[in-house]
Structure 1
């Protein structure tokens, strides 16, 4: 088909994309985008559909992850309750050309009419735009993807039906999986994976033209769910996510040069194995005995991994300290080095931290009060959004104040202040990491050799069982070698000792050995209670 021109890009959209690309790169340590080359170019009607676990942050992440050379803009949708309010968030979504979507849960009588919204989306697609829809229908703090609503598939049917006279007219559904390591924590990591588009043409899909059999709508929705789910961590419970991460860490130990995408897919592999074993053990009736035996073994492994991680948490150490035991002399010398290094970095970071303090204090106060407004599943999905907005406002205020107070040299401080704050953040990250390593070594020193020996024996047993499960699930036999050689020089990878050292001192970003790392004085391995 002949490409359409697409809608012109509003200036506010350009501003938002530039502004939040900067803010997101500060808040999240690494944002890895996979398969951006698959995105249809401007002029080809496209519906971007992703899982929805982080409120407005999901939309901002998609806006900044889609290259401007591929799409000039992504027309967003948002719940209607976000519109018409005297807030920065409301102005933000309205000025970017966002289309309001009404939800039944927000209606007093439970009825809604989104006819006008669907009409606007159809018209945007007919102009060659890309529109963004979150088919779960709502954002929530939960480890599993909710059943998808059929709005995307119905939109495909509507736009094809309106253009039935043009047999070459097409519309694509671009599914996307967004995975946050810890969505609300500062300097955590994010993976954005685009999947091959599902393209529908008038001449090739007459079954989608009105009047349409609703089974075809359900079939498209099921395909979307499968694609989105396959690229992220989709689990019935947080506890299962935690255990799958432990299994992957034993399979591919700390320091394995694994990309963030491979890390997420590895977790997903173990997660699928645990879910399959659970479903097999729950089935009744005649089953193959060998399958049940295998399922019981996997469930036993899952329980033993959980107990192993629980003990690590009680001790406050990582699996790597059990895998590679250190002599008490080595532990003592490393404790000294880590402590001195953390003190040095904290000292040189102190002047810059005075600029960061108002930002940290403002966001902490705002989020602390916001958490009181509702249960975890209904409020924690908006924490990152609050941190981004309040951090942006307080950061700009700090920047403006510093420029005003240094007015005689304002042209210099206008550039130097944000640069100084950035390098401070890099030093502070390394300082926190060094202090976290010191405290872990101190706890390890206190455990004692007999307890560590018993834990090492337990880990050796777990390692052999995890490797058996990994090989049966199709993972490579030698993960450290395989992942070091796999793929190209993508972001988040290091190639060899020299590159590893250079990345560690990189000004752009901290080189992480552990994708689970956040800017915390403790290792973030646990999740909130399920029913809080």
Structure 2
């Protein structure tokens, strides 16, 4: 019988960080939807949490706040060693939470300096105490549409821990894979999906192939399984353009207004993404072959690739005009457009006016984060800086927000006991009003652009969309075997707590809740234009 383990005690700074950033993350992101927390091994069971890594420190903070305290008392983090030893808030934050420094070869001129044997020993000891540790097997954070090939470090760590405990045949260690999907990772009030997968469990008794001396093929096999699990829960694409096209296909199949969870939306988008990727791979594989069998396969893949290209052209035109597919789906008469423009503009002005007092409090925060991010972008190319933008916004937003709060309380000292609660409450409801005000103005500008495009052009686009829609539905039903009625299917699937508000009463009742879900489109952010494009790859 394996001895009982209780895990390491939780540092007070870790409790503070978890509480503080749970609040900050829910301010910065519109919805954080967490799936399958029941799969997380409880405290006392050694566990390695592995996830894709595209958003620097934000990924770690998101995992820390996503794991319920009822399941794990803490998650031991790792971070690149270059973030330690500085007199900055970020450095203090990392060190005080018990984070283990990892030396990356790219950060050292001499490979001998990148020695992580001490760090690995600390991680093994933590696991043997029953802790959960967090590792990002891609090896580095990067702004890229595809998941990098995973390093073998996690699999080797599993082998080392099992080998150290080979005398205890029932010693159990789990690898818990997790997929993190940011709809628009660096933009204010975007949405995030965190999906935990079934853990892979290993013991010396059941997995002798992982004991030293281990065949490296077994290490590679475990790493490949991890890659497959992580990729299965997020959007893993060779290009941003393909993600953009897949999102359009998903929106055509399940149009605006379909009551679906964020998890369903991501999985649906991924289904179309995988179809386009498969067609592209088949086309490359059979290029130059002329057998009867390959000709039939090639014809099917060519149809899918042609659909992909036509969808891209269609989306390019929509992006150029600044309108959504839904505006083409249901053409509106001119008088309806004008009346809706009046309603949207009036609603925007009303919400903006009542938001002005709160906006004065938010202004220093927005200005500080904008200035910090603007300067940070100049330090390197997109692929090396954009993965840390959200981190900069969170840290600078938090610090400037706390300053605004304390200064406001100090300036109103005679009634500080009131303003201490009034200031954050005012900022909170201002964010609610501004979210709806921006959405109203975004709708107003989209309707204005409809008028500018002109009726003949819109009619022509409507006819093109009908053809595209028929081809998307044919791909969805005949090839991908998706449900025939997405509106009915997704309304019944998923759960209430997975990022969806059911019915008008629920929506109204949760208006003042920071967890509320009122946006009709998971692609929205707090911007005056629809976010459908990505930076060009470098």
Within-5 A mapping of 1:37-436? 37-111=38-112, 112-283=114-285, 284=287, 285=289, 288-436=294-442
Partner residue, 1:6: 7
Query: Mean alpha-carbon deviation: is it higher for 470-479 or for 271-280?
Result: 470-479
State the shift of 1:505 in Å: 6.8
How far apart, CA to CA, are the structure 1 residues paired with 2:70 and 2:235?
29
State the shift of 1:502 in Å: 4.9
Partner residue, 1:484: 491
State the shift of 1:170 in Å: 0.7
Check conservation: 1:161, 1:210, Cα contact below 8 A: yes
State the shift of 1:493 in Å: 1.4
Distance 1:42 1:53, change over 3 A: same
Partner residue, 1:18: 19
State the shift of 1:507 in Å: 6.2
How far apart, CA to CA, are the structure 2 residues paired with 1:502 and 1:327?
34
State the shift of 1:508 in Å: 4.7
How far apart, CA to CA, are the structure 2 residues paired with 1:425 and 1:505?
10
State the shift of 1:501 in Å: 5.3
Distance 1:3 1:196, change over 3 A: farther
How far apart, CA to CA, are the structure 2 residues paired with 1:307 and 1:469?
18
How far apart, CA to CA, are the structure 2 residues paired with 1:369 and 1:496?
44
Secondary structure in structure 2 of the residue aligned to 1:461: helix
TM-score (norm 1): 0.98
State the shift of 1:452 in Å: 1.1
State the shift of 1:476 in Å: 1.2
State the shift of 1:491 in Å: 3.6
Point out where structure 2 has 5 or more consecutive residues left out of the alignment. Answer: none
Check conservation: 2:501, 2:516, Cα contact below 8 A: no
State the shift of 1:500 in Å: 4.6
Secondary structure in structure 1 of the residue aligned to 2:111: coil
Check conservation: 2:27, 2:514, Cα contact below 8 A: no
Check conservation: 1:163, 1:202, Cα contact below 8 A: yes
Query: Mean alpha-carbon deviation: is it higher for 481-490 or for 351-360?
Result: 481-490
How far apart, CA to CA, are the structure 1 residues paired with 2:14 and 2:384?
28
State the shift of 1:110 in Å: 3.3
State the shift of 1:503 in Å: 5.0
State the shift of 1:373 in Å: 0.1
Partner residue, 2:532: 525
Check conservation: 1:423, 1:507, Cα contact below 8 A: no
State the shift of 1:495 in Å: 2.4
Partner residue, 2:502: 495
Point out where structure 1 has 5 or more consecutive residues left out of the alignment. Answer: none
Q: Over the residues paired in the alignment, what is the CA RMSD in angstroms? A: 1.2
Distance 1:513 1:3, change over 3 A: farther
State the shift of 1:446 in Å: 1.9
Instruction: Tell me the alpha carbon deviations over residues 438-492 of structure 1, each in whole angstroms, 9 at most, x when there is no partner.
Output: 0000111222221111111111111111111112113211111110111331242
